[in-house]
Amino acid sequence: MPSNARSEKLIAKRLKFRDLQVLSAVAQSGSMAKAAAQLGVTQPAVSEIIAGLEHMFAVRLFDRSPRGVVPTTFGGALLKRSVVVFDELKQSIRDIEFLADPTAGELKIGCPESISAILAPVMETFCRQYPRVVLHVEQVDNRTLELAELHNRRTDLVLGHFALSSSDDQLFDNLNVEVLLDDPVVVVAGMRSQWTRRRKIDLTELVNEPWILGTPGSWPNRIVSEAFLARGLDEPRISLMTISVHLRADMVASGHFITTFPSSVVHFHSNRLSLKALAVDFPARPWPLAVITLKNRTLSPVVELFIQHVREFTRPLREAKRARTAIS
């Protein structure tokens, strides 16, 4: 295996971008023939490039079998770095496009469905200000935030709530986590509900009310369950479990149901969705809303522009939080 400076220079001169493209195509398809079809070349040409790479590095990059090919440990190491090469090249192209037209570009955002109500006003103002920027939003798992999407560079950033213990810190070793604000869970009812007219509500009064909550194990569900158990109460009666913000909002607006939302949802949409946070003695548990990006990855100017926009948009909520803290 080449290891000295002379060998590294030799490899640098011989290694071509096309070689890495072929390597990636073979790994993804698991077949020399399928990779050839995907790239529009012959199978012997693909086999020759892979053989040339193996000769260059003096290691076997793929294990062959009648069922196809699988990357070896060496092949996996080269593939991992190849992803970075492809990504940096794409990012440089996006930078050039942005320099040519600072009002245009593309941005890939990962977010859980549960914050779609928060993201909507952010994106509305951003799209109006930068109409030639195309935003791609992919739904990710609210519990894990699908951090693999960032590691695989399929998204530029993930925007979402997280509530992870210190034992999960290793999940963030290669990530930048910028907390925008603490967005605690609040108990919510529709404007037509009898509960919205009450200035103070004891938790015991809500045990037998029909609740709409998220999926089992979700952070809001855990907070509700712990709040009732702390008072020595049975868990509340659940009529519906769903992660859909729109379904919950529509049903709660009828006045017959109770649910939970991040406080930001009530802040941005109380009038439009006919919602009101109830005056319940409910435990305040931190639930950070954060922007997560990959460390050591060059962010395009469009991504940085969007992150700055989110910071400015959420500033009033941060300032209101500080003001309430100062008064208390």
Which domains are delineated in the chain? 5-81 (1.10.10.10), 101-181+288-327 (3.40.190.10), 185-277 (3.40.190.10)
Cα first-last separation, the chain: 66
Across the range 189-214, mean pLDDT stands at 92
What pLDDT does residue 166 have? 42
Note the pLDDT tens digit of each residue in 269-314.
888 888 999 999 887 788 899 999 988 888 888 888 999 999 999 9
The crossing angle, in degrees rounded to 10, of helices 73-100 and 17-29 is 120
What pLDDT does residue 109 have? 92
What proportions of the chain, in percent to the nearest 5, are helix, strand and coil? 50, 20, 30
What pLDDT does residue 84 have? 76
Note the pLDDT tens digit of each residue in 110-134.
988 878 778 888 999 999 999 889 9
83-97, 103-117, 249-263 — which is least confidently predicted?
83-97
More confident residue, 185 or 102: 185
What pLDDT does residue 324 have? 67
Torsions phi, psi for 49 (to 5 deg): -65, -45
pTM: 0.67
How far CA 154 is from CA of 41, 177, 196, in Å, comes to 26, 18, 43
Note the pLDDT tens digit of each residue in 252-281.
999 999 999 998 888 888 888 889 999 998
128-157 in b/e form (b: 16+ CB < 10 A) is eebeebebeeeebebeebbbebbeebebbb
User: How far apart (Å, rounded) are the C-alpha atoms in residues 187 and 167?
Assistant: 29
97-111, 233-247, 248-262 — which is least confidently predicted?
97-111
Q: In which band, very low, low, confident or very high, does the pLDDT at 145 lie, cut at 50, 70 and 90?
A: low
User: How far apart (Å, rounded) are the C-alpha atoms in residues 328 and 323?
Assistant: 9
What pLDDT does residue 1 have? 46
How far CA 306 is from CA of 112, 156, 188, 311, in Å, comes to 18, 11, 30, 9
Across the range 6-32, mean pLDDT stands at 78
For residue 162, the 8-state DSSP code is -
More confident residue, 10 or 114: 114
- Extract the runs of DSSP E, i.e. beta strands, from 154-311: 157-161, 175-182, 185-190, 211-213, 238-241, 258-262, 275-277, 288-294
Give me the chain's average pLDDT, please.
84
Q: Of 173, 155, 174, nearest to 111 (Cα)?
A: 155
User: How far apart (Å, rounded) are the C-alpha atoms in residues 76 and 154?
Assistant: 18
Six-digit token string for 139: 């739904």
What pLDDT does residue 2 have? 46
Across the range 4-14, mean pLDDT stands at 59
What pLDDT does residue 308 have? 94
What pLDDT does residue 98 have? 67
